[in-house]
């Protein structure tokens, strides 16, 4: 829906999809998930064909394919190449492919052949004539021997002899050709450029099917190249379809049964441990522990889930963007909005259960508590987007996120409410301090006033000389390091989230993902 222009009716787009599916033999797996590191989906050959099918949607005149048979068994590789051959023949297309160690059956499919060795051309012409060409040079291929294996063996030997000659006098020439291959002209219709690193020693077969008359056959839907538009579809179409795709991909990962079971177990334990705790000064530390557990748990969950999702689709998005399929802004906005309801739904249920089982307050405080938990999830998600873009290595990005969150636990008032004087400022530069302080303000705001003689005077300085003084919830908040009004904490969370989201977009743009 994104690759084909908006002006083409939806029904014609669907018909085109089914034509490609039939030509590539993908009908039996039409409703199978692609699959990822967590879920098994298409086989290796099916994934390659699906990848090729995505490119065929735009009806390209020339298709460049790099090693389509790598990693496939001989039967699967043959099936894939047969389907590509049939497609090229049926729709009069040009396919240029690099093939490493093809079987004899695959080798005989190609009409034109280019052999490269060490960046230089060894042969360029009809594939059926290559054996005769080498025979004229005194290099004969035995009968019943795979021509591809023979050619690779011959060229590999030449690389070895060439390397030995270089070691001797630093001067040599390729005996089979004295030409350096830079461009190849295909029947006056296309140029292909092949560059290999000097001295790499790799042997590569480039097989070319010449382009025939384009007027013989065509797709039923006449899709013309639009030179006055950069994108084939509108922003709204791209956003809508990317949102749908991202939602379907993320749903299984975010709602994984093991994650649901884990959240249910932790909620059960917390509910039993903190069941209907008293709203008194004696239970302040208990409520601090409950709030910290909730925020910490969902901070780590948001970090891991977001990083895994972004890392898993990085290659796909990069390929789509390189092909000019959609705007970066459409992808980024769709990614955020599609995952938003999924990411906050389970924390919403978790915090609801824990809040009412622990008896932390009334209905008004309940909604405020849920809102703060949601803002915390969004802030960590936006942070994880930046880590995923700036740090491609998944382990390193997770480690960085863990350091940020755990450092926040130590410095933000969770575990230590009496840090050294020279470190008291540090809580304002860690992320988790703000949702924690806002949550504690909500939870303790409804607590009744207490007399100084009912608590420890060492903690509250105003009780030191007056044990009959009254302590308010504000005094208790100051005692645990919550010094600012709640709106300051909330405004900071919102501001940080917006900054992270904005920076994440420009990071994607800079990294050209």
Q: How far is CA 71 from the centre of its chain?
A: 22
Confidence at residue 109, expressed as pLDDT on a 0 to 100 scale: 84
Q: 3-state DSSP call for residue 184?
A: strand
Q: 3-state DSSP call for residue 441?
A: helix
Q: Check if the beta carbon of residue 254 is closer than 8 Å to that of residue 339.
A: yes
For residue 93, give the nearest of 193, 206, 217 by alpha carbon: 217
Q: Which residues make beta-bridge pairs with 185?
A: 191
Confidence at residue 399, expressed as pLDDT on a 0 to 100 scale: 92
CA distances from 362 to 50, 213, 456, 473 (A): 54, 76, 28, 16
Strand blocks (E) in 85-202: 94-99, 112-117, 120-126, 183-186, 190-193
Q: Check if the beta carbon of residue 100 is closer than 8 Å to that of residue 67.
A: yes
CA distances from 140 to 269, 367, 421 (A): 77, 83, 85
Q: Which residues, including other chains, have CB under 8 Å from residue 165's CB and lie 6 or more apart?
A: 171, 172
d(CA 335, CA 342): 12
For residue 65, give the nearest of 47, 52, 79 by alpha carbon: 52
- Phi–psi pair at 58, nearest 5 degrees: -85, 5
Q: Please state whether beta strands 62-66 and 94-99 pair in parallel, antiparallel, or not at all (unpaired).
A: parallel
Other CB atoms closer than 10 Å to residue 511's CB: what's the count? Answer: 12
d(CA 474, CA 245): 48
For residue 207, give the nearest of 352, 84, 318 by alpha carbon: 84
For residue 323, give the nearest of 57, 19, 85, 7 by alpha carbon: 57
Pull the structure tokens for residue 192.
């292909």
Q: Check if the beta carbon of residue 293 is closer than 8 Å to that of residue 469.
A: no
Q: What is the dihedral of CA 126, 132, 134, 139, to 10 degrees?
A: 150
Q: Check if the beta carbon of residue 155 is closer than 8 Å to that of residue 164.
A: no
Q: Check if the beta carbon of residue 121 is closer than 8 Å to that of residue 179.
A: yes
Q: Check if the beta carbon of residue 370 is closer than 8 Å to that of residue 447.
A: no
Pull the structure tokens for residue 232.
């084939």
Q: Check if the beta carbon of residue 466 is closer than 8 Å to that of residue 419.
A: no
d(CA 171, CA 184): 27
pTM metric for this prediction? 0.70
For residue 375, give the nearest of 502, 494, 498, 495 by alpha carbon: 494
Confidence at residue 512, expressed as pLDDT on a 0 to 100 scale: 66
Whose tokens are 């591809």? That residue is 148
Confidence at residue 460, expressed as pLDDT on a 0 to 100 scale: 56
Low-confidence ranges of the chain (pLDDT < 50): 159, 162-205, 207-228, 457-458
Q: Check if the beta carbon of residue 350 is closer than 8 Å to that of residue 294.
A: yes
Q: Which residues, including other chains, have CB under 8 Å from residue 215's CB and lie 6 or more apart?
A: none
d(CA 346, CA 310): 20
> What radius of gyration do the chain's Cα atoms show?
32
Q: How far is CA 388 from the centre of its chain?
A: 8
Q: Check if the beta carbon of residue 204 is closer than 8 Å to that of residue 100.
A: yes
């Amino acid at each position: 829906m994104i690759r084909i222009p908006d002006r083409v009716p939806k029904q014609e787009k669907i018909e085109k999809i089914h034509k490609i599916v039939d030509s590539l033999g993908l009908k039996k797996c039409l409703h199978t998930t692609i699959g990822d590191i967590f879920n098994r989906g298409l086989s290796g050959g099916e994934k390659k064909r699906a990848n090729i099918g995505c490119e065929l949607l735009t009806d390209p005149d020339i298709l460049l394919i790099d090693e389509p048979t790598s990693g496939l068994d001989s039967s699967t590789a043959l099936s894939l190449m047969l389907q590509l051959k049939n497609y090229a023949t049926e729709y009069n297309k040009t396919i240029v492919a690099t093939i490493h160690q093809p079987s004899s059956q695959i080798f005989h499919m190609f009409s034109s052949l280019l052999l490269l060795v060490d960046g230089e051309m060894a042969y360029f012409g009809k594939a059926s004539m290559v054996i005769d060409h080498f025979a004229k040079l005194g290099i004969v291929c035995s009968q019943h021997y795979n021509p591809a294996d023979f050619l690779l063996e011959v060229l590999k030997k030449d690389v070895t002899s060439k390397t030995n000659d270089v070691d001797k006098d630093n001067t040599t020439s390729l005996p089979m050709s004295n030409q350096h291959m830079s461009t190849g002209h295909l029947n006056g219709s296309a140029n292909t450029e092949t560059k290999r690193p000097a001295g790499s020693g790799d042997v590569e077969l480039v097989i070319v099917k010449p382009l025939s008359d384009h007027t013989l056959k065509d797709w039923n839907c006449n899709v013309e190249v639009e030179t006055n538009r950069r994108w084939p579809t509108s922003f709204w179409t791209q956003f809508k379809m990317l949102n749908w795709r991202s939602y379907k991909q993320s749903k299984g990962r975010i709602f994984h049964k093991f994650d649901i079971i884990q959240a249910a177990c932790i909620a059960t334990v917390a509910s039993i441990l903190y069941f209907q705790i008293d709203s008194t000064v004696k239970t302040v530390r208990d409520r601090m522990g409950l709030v910290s557990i909730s925020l910490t748990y969902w901070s780590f969950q948001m970090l891991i889930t977001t990083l895994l999702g972004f890392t898993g689709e990085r290659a796909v998005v990069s390929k789509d963007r390189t092909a000019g399929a959609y705007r970066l802004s459409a992808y980024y906005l769709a990614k955020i909005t599609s995952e938003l309801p999924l990411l906050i739904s389970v924390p919403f249920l978790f915090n609801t259960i824990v809040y009412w089982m622990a008896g932390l307050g009334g209905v008004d405080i309940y909604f405020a508590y849920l809102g703060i938990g949601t803002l915390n999830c969004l802030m960590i998600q936006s942070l994880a987007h930046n880590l995923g873009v700036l740090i491609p290595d998944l382990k390193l990005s997770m480690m960085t996120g863990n350091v940020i969150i755990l450092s926040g636990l130590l410095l933000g008032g969770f575990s230590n409410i009496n840090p050294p004087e020279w470190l008291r400022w540090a809580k304002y530069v860690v992320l988790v301090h703000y949702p924690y302080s806002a949550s504690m303000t909500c939870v303790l705001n409804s607590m009744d006033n207490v007399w100084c003689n009912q608590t420890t005077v060492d903690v509250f300085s105003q009780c030191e000389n007056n044990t009959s003084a009254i302590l308010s919830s504000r005094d208790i908040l100051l005692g645990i390091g919550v010094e600012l009004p709640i709106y300051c904490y909330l405004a900071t969370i919102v501001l940080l989230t917006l900054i992270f989201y904005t920076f994440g977009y420009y990071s994607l743009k800079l990294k050209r993902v």
